Amino acid sequence: MKTLLILTGPQGSGNHLWSKIFALHRHVLGWRALDSEYWIGHDEEPWAHYWQNPHELRNAPWTASDWHVTSISVPFMNNGTPDVPDFKAFVSGVQNLGYRVKIAVLGRDRNILQHQETRVRGKSTFDLALAEYSQFALPTFLSYELLHLYGKHYLQRVEKELEFPIDYSNPAIDLILKEDTNSKYFQPVSEQPLDAVAKHASRKKK
């Protein structure tokens, strides 16, 4: 059955990163333009027109592949104005065509999302996303931190859970994950009260 995977997360949670990864598989029709561009606005995402006009989903490039992936954040920018996608209309439109829909909700550290969204949009917006996603029935959750920690092993697990092809052995994965953008939000901390206790507990008793 033809399948459309929806990647969605709070603004700044890694939509572009995950879109690059899923588009690597030769059987998946994804956001291939990201292969040569680090970042592109979501108004140029291949399915952007259908998010705005779900009644036209029958005209989407369904014959090009059995596996499709689209990406949209919550909120997304609609002519410069933050907007929440109409998931109900979009998903119903795909299912009414007889195709399967899978939803993957992206996650990232809450504090980093707050800093990132405030820096880029002027205020934190992830509460909008959390409210929207609470209506989803058992989506798959994808973690930015677990992806960078476990890499290809994590992607193997994601492929099985989603039942959606991922080219987790592709050498391009290493390049995509080379930079962990979380690192710019971190700085070393001074010694904490429990550090000495932990060090003492780890010593072998004599």
The token duo for 45 is: 């995402």
In tens, the pLDDT along 61-74 reads 999 999 999 999 99
Residue 115 vs residues 124, 154, 190, 201: alpha-carbon distances, Å: 8, 26, 22, 35
Determine contact, residues 8/74, Cβ cutoff 8 Å.
Answer: yes
The token duo for 143 is: 């973690």
d(CA 206, CA 204): 6
Handedness of CA 40, 105, 181, 122 (dihedral sign): positive
d(CA 123, CA 132): 18
pLDDT of 195: 59
Q: Is the pLDDT of residue 198 over 70?
A: no
Give how far the C-alpha of residue 42 lies from the chain's centroid of Cα atoms, to the nearest Å.
Answer: 13
Determine contact, residues 71/18, Cβ cutoff 8 Å.
Answer: yes
pLDDT of 203: 62
- CATH number for the domain whose boundaries are 3-180: 3.40.50
Side-by-side strand order, sheet with 3-10? 28-29, 67-74, 3-10, 100-107, 140-143
Pairing of strands 3-10, 140-143: unpaired
Percent of all residues in the chain with a pLDDT value above 90, rounded to a whole number: 76
Least confident of 55-59, 114-118, 153-157: 114-118
Determine contact, residues 27/65, Cβ cutoff 8 Å.
Answer: yes
Determine contact, residues 100/1, Cβ cutoff 8 Å.
Answer: yes
Per-residue pLDDT band for 7 (boundaries 50, 70, 90) equals: very high
Q: Report DSSP letters for 80-136, one per residue.
A: TEEE---HHHHHHHHHTTT-EEEEEEEE--HHHHHHHHHHHHSS--HHHHHHHHTTS
